[in-house]
């Protein structure tokens, strides 16, 4: 994959988290970063953009993150998904990976882990 062709969709209903993620991603060169604030918008943008990676909150309005992950995975099977959530429930984490996640990052750890998780997912590694 060419570095200049990397598209990332950041999906979170909380604007401060979207802004945090977008700012953190500026550390990685050659990313085109797009945003969505709910599940429906995420699927619409996923269809249009076919992003390489989606950073996805679980608790979203209209459609939750699991529903979004499954639909984006159906529409664009090569898209990597990293859940970015504060939910630490192991059953939910397992469900996220069954839904097609390449990674699961706890928001309170995101400052230290997000950029490395994104790089790993884009290189095909599960985190």
Name the β-bridge partners of 85: 106
- Tell me how far CA of residue 35 lies from CA of 19, 96, 126, in angstroms: 9, 20, 23
Q: What is the pTM of this model?
A: 0.93
H-helix or E-strand containing 9?
strand 6-11
- Domain 9-105, CATH number (from 1.10.287.310, 3.40.720.10, 2.60.40.10, 3.40.50.2300): 3.40.50.2300
- From the list 34, 53, 49, the residue with the least C-alpha distance to 122 is 53
- Please give the chain's pLDDT, 127 residues, in tens: 444 579 999 999 999 999 999 999 998 999 999 999 999 999 999 999 999 999 999 999 999 999 999 999 999 999 999 999 999 999 999 999 999 999 999 999 999 999 999 999 999 999 8
């Amino acid at each position: 994959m060419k570095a200049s062709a990397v598209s990332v969709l950041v999906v979170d209903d909380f604007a401060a988290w979207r802004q945090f993620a977008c700012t953190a991603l500026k550390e990685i060169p050659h990313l085109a970063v797009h945003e969505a604030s709910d599940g429906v918008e995420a699927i619409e943008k996923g269809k249009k953009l076919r992003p390489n990676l989606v950073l996805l909150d679980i608790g979203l309005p209209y459609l939750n993150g699991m529903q979004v992950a499954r639909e984006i995975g159906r529409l664009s099977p090569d898209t990597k998904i990293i859940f970015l959530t504060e939910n630490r429930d192991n059953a939910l984490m397992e469900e996220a990976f069954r839904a097609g996640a390449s990674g699961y990052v706890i928001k309170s750890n995101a400052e230290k882990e997000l950029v490395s998780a994104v790089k790993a997912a884009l290189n095909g590694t599960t985190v």
